[in-house]
Chains A and B, each alone.
Chain A
Amino acid sequence: MEKSGPRHWALAAFFALFVLFLYGPTVTIVILSFQGPDGGLTFPMRGFSLHWFANLFQPQMVGDFGGSFERSLALAMIVMGLTVLISLGAGLAFRRRFFGATALFYLTIAGLIVPSILISLGIGLMFNVAGIPPNWWSSALGAHLTWTLPFGVLIMFAVFNRFDHSLEEAAQDLGASPWQVFRHVVLPLIAPSLVGVALFGFSLSYDEFSRTIMAAGSDNTLPLEIFAMTTNVTTPVLYALGSLTTAFSLGLVVLVLVLVLGMRRRRRAAAG
Chain B
Amino acid sequence: MSTTTIAAAPVGAADMPGARRRRWASALPYLQALPLWLVLGVFLLIPIATIVAVSFWDDQEYALVPTFILDNYRDALGSHVTWSTYVSTLRYAAIVWAATLGIGFTVAYFLSFHVRSTLWQMVLFQLCAIPFLTSNVIRMISWIPFLGRNGLLNRSLMAVGITDHPLEFLLFSPFAVVLAFVHLYTLFMVVPIFNTMMRIDRALVEAARDAGAGPVAVLRHVIVPLSLPGIAIGTIFVVTLVMGDFVTVQMMSGGQSASVGLMMKNQISLLQYPSAAAQAVVLLITVLLMVWAILRVVDIRKEL
Using a CB–CB distance below 8 Å, which chain A residues touch chain B? 1-2, 7-8, 11-12, 14-15, 18-19, 21-26, 28-29, 32, 40-43, 82, 85-87, 89-90, 92-101, 104, 107-108, 110-119, 121-126, 128-129, 142-143, 145-146, 149, 153, 157, 165, 168-169, 172-173, 175-178, 180, 199-200, 203-204, 206-207, 209-210, 213-214, 223, 226-227, 230, 238-239, 242, 245-246, 249-250, 252-253, 257
Contact = CB atoms under 8 A, between A and B. Distances in A.
- 6 smallest CB-CB distances across A and B, nearest first, come from A115-B244, A122-B47, A142-B43, A25-B142, A175-B11, A93-B32
B131 A111 contact: no
Contact of A246 (B138, B155, B268, B284): B138
Contacts of B33: 89-90, 93-94, 98, 100-101, 104
A163 to B, nearest CB: 11
A21 B183 contact: yes
B264 A117 contact: yes
Contacts of B155: 43
Nearest to A244: B138
Contacts of B113: 1-2
Q: B124, B149, B244: which has the most chain A beta carbons within 10 Å?
A: B244
Size class of B's contact patch? 35 or more
Nearest to A225: B137
- Give the interface centre of A126, A128, A204, A250 by most chain B CB atoms within 10 Å: A126
Contact of B110 (A12, A89, A117): A12
19 contacts: A11-B114, A12-B110, A15-B124, A26-B139, A29-B138, A29-B142, A89-B36, A92-B29, A113-B236, A118-B283, A123-B47, A124-B268, A128-B64, A146-B40, A172-B9, A180-B12, A209-B135, A209-B137, A253-B133
Nearest to A30: B142
A115 B107 contact: no
A250 B130 contact: yes
Nearest to A158: B195
B246 interface: yes
Interface in B222-281: 236-237, 240-241, 243-247, 251, 261, 264-265, 268, 273, 276-277, 280
Contacts of B40: 104, 107-108, 110-111, 146, 149
B16 to A, nearest CB: 9
B3 interface: yes
B51 A125 contact: yes
A119 B304 contact: no
Contacts of B9: 172-173, 175, 177
A249 B247 CA distance: 21
B142 to A, nearest CB: 4
A23 B244 contact: no
Contacts of A2: 113-114, 215
B45 A107 contact: yes
Contacts of B137: 207, 209, 223, 226-227, 230
A111 B43 CA distance: 9
Contacts of A142: 39, 42-43
A106 B148 CA distance: 43
Contacts of B215: 2, 7
A114 B48 contact: yes
B208 interface: no
A239 B141 contact: yes
Given A24-B146, A89-B32, A115-B240, 11 more contacts: A11-B109, A42-B149, A89-B35, A92-B29, A98-B29, A114-B44, A119-B43, A129-B54, A172-B9, A226-B138, A242-B142
Given A89-B36, A209-B137, A1 B116 contact: yes
